[in-house]
Amino acid sequence: MQRIRLLFRLLAIQRVLFRHGLDEFIVQVHLFRPFRFLLFLWPFYWFGRDTRRPRGERLREALQELGPIYVKFGQSVSTRQDLLPADIGAELAKLQDQVPPFPSAQALDEVARAYGRPAGEVFASFEEQALAAASIAQVHAARLPDGADVVVKILRPRVRQQVERDLEVLYAVARLAERWWGESHRLHPVQLVAEYEKTILNELDLMREAANAAQLRRNFEGDPKLYVPEVHWDYCRPTVMVIERIYGIPIDDMAALQAARVNIARLAANGVAIFFTQVFRDNFFHADMHPGNIFVDARDPEYPKYCAVDFGIVGTLSEGDRRYLAENFLAFFKRDYQRVAQLHVDSRWVPPGTRVDEFESAIRSVCEPVFNKPLKDISFGQVLLRLFQTARQFDMEVQPQLMLLQKTLVQVEGLGRALYPELDLWETGYPVLKAWVREQAGPRSTLRRLRRELPDLRYALEKLPGALRRFVEANSADAPPATDGGSAARPAIKGRHAHPGRATTGYWLGAGAALLLGGVLYLGLGIEPQWIGWALGASGLLGLWAGRPRQ
């Protein structure tokens, strides 16, 4: 049954593509050119094809008709206007917030279903005409009974069924790729689809999105660079979210930004700083950074502030990935290509047998031409092409867990290029990253980690007396001999008495471990004065050193 459903969906996708005359895009791909003649055998080719309207408009409408997954693909691509023909880029940009809304009557029905009563009884006022609409949901302006102006985000009806249906298609294509495509062993298409599945299904839960918004707001509370609107939790449901309404200039409205005399250079630099701060300081980053989700508060044009909306997609990294990426970025910034190559080999992103010197040379050839250059002088398309060639040459594996971060980095670079082409990404990002790495190595970061581990430390401390007693008894000269009376026990007893220093060693090790754990616990509890904790820890280390095994 699933295969039949999948077949019908594939036929429906083909029908939409042919109806909008998009076969012209397909036959331009080198791989499909030899099969161009097969188009004439396809029934959809001869009936109802629309080739009169502009190709960008036809592509946008086809993506809208195919559903949320395809719209989100168009949104992501639209952030790279420098890589797209002008007519296609302009049309795909409309997918960011100009997707046709679903009818107001359906929106009111969804609100009533979520709250168990009509919108008129929940809100003081509710505008039936949508403010904006996108692939997953649309938003309506409203006012709460306490007078607060808010926006109400409403999930599209049946959007989950549409998403799950097209995920089946993506999995089918990925499995075919893994079976028949030689590059699949390093690109991991099924794992990439699995990562995307987690991301988009999370986006369908508006309670989760509200929690994301609240977390990001806490992270940037009082920060002059970014404002995150307040969530009204009492009005949030899995299919409806209510959040503070913000007012600002869309990030891609350059005419309005210039009319407001916004300091564009500072705005662009702040955007890069916000990205690195979210990724490395907070380990929680907004991962849907297309222009439809970013506004500018220009009330103080010399110090403009970003305002973010739509928190359905956020990313986090494992501690290992975060530290590895930070070391990679810093090595790039310092032009230490040998270090970059070694990090890739150590992490097994390239095969273990890769020659570091050859990989270093390839990385240098990609990066040197773009250093210390503003974005306007860098051909991002050429950089990507060289990166893909290098990855293929050295059999470099794609890391599915970093897919969101890579997508966000591409979006941020595209926004920076459109906003302020003179921006130097390296010069802007290096201080933020360097400060984070320095902070991670400092005592405050160590104490934070200790506090995080405090419950485990307390549990270990409770077990310490018994463990120490058993340890000392096992290493004491006065420990009782084995009770079996056999001759096998005598060598052990003789050996123990032959080395009376072992008892002293045991005491030193036991005391050192106790002092070290005591110092760690003291610091973890944040008790003043903290020098006592450091003294205990230092004494414990000395004890462990004194009790080290000697030949």
Report residue 157: phi and psi, to 5°: -60, 140
Alpha-carbon gap, residue 543 to 517, rounded angstroms: 12
In the predicted model, is pLDDT for residue 78 greater than 70?
yes
Question: Domains of the chain: which residue ranges?
Answer: 2-96, 160-200, 253-441, 445-546
Question: What are the respective helix, strand and coil percentages of the chain, to the nearest 5?
Answer: 65, 10, 30
DSSP 237: B
Q: How confident is the model at residue 258 (pLDDT cuts 50, 70, 90)?
A: very high
Work out the average pLDDT over 142-151: 96
Report yes or no: 240 and 114 within 8 Å, Cβ to Cβ. yes
Alpha-carbon gap, residue 45 to 14, rounded angstroms: 10
For 305-403, where are the E strands, in sequence order? 305-308, 314-315
Catalytic center residues: 288
In the predicted model, is pLDDT for residue 490 greater than 50?
no
pLDDT tens profile 262-310? 999 999 999 988 998 998 889 999 998 888 899 999 999 999 999 999 9
Alpha-carbon gap, residue 411 to 234, rounded angstroms: 33
Between 529 and 315, residue with greater pLDDT? 315
User: Residue 494's pLDDT is what?
Assistant: 43
Q: Are strands 249-250 and 294-297 parallel, antiparallel or unpaired?
A: antiparallel
Residue 485, class by beta-carbon neighbours within 10 Å (0-12 exposed, 13-18 middle, 19+ buried)? exposed
Between 411 and 97, residue with greater pLDDT? 411
At 348 the three-state DSSP class reads: coil
pLDDT tens profile 121-142? 999 999 999 998 888 999 999 9
User: Residue 482's pLDDT is what?
Assistant: 47
Between 472 and 278, residue with greater pLDDT? 278
The one-letter amino acid code at 308 reads A
User: Residue 497's pLDDT is what?
Assistant: 45
Q: Are strands 305-308 and 226-227 parallel, antiparallel or unpaired?
A: parallel
In the predicted model, is pLDDT for residue 214 greater than 60?
yes
The one-letter amino acid code at 180 reads W
β-sheet with 226-227: strand ranges across: 226-227, 305-308, 294-297, 249-250
% of the chain surpassing 90 pLDDT: 27
User: Residue 62's pLDDT is what?
Assistant: 86
- Which distant-in-sequence residues (6+ apart) come within 8 Å of 376 by Cβ? 417, 421, 422
Report residue 137: phi and psi, to 5°: -155, 175
Report yes or no: 244 and 232 within 8 Å, Cβ to Cβ. yes
Report residue 226: phi and psi, to 5°: -140, 135
User: Residue 379's pLDDT is what?
Assistant: 64
116-125, 279-288, 317-326, range with the lowest pLDDT: 317-326
Alpha-carbon gap, residue 5 to 432, rounded angstroms: 50
Q: How confident is the model at residue 496 (pLDDT cuts 50, 70, 90)?
A: very low
**pTM listed for this prediction:** 0.74
Between 524 and 305, residue with greater pLDDT? 305
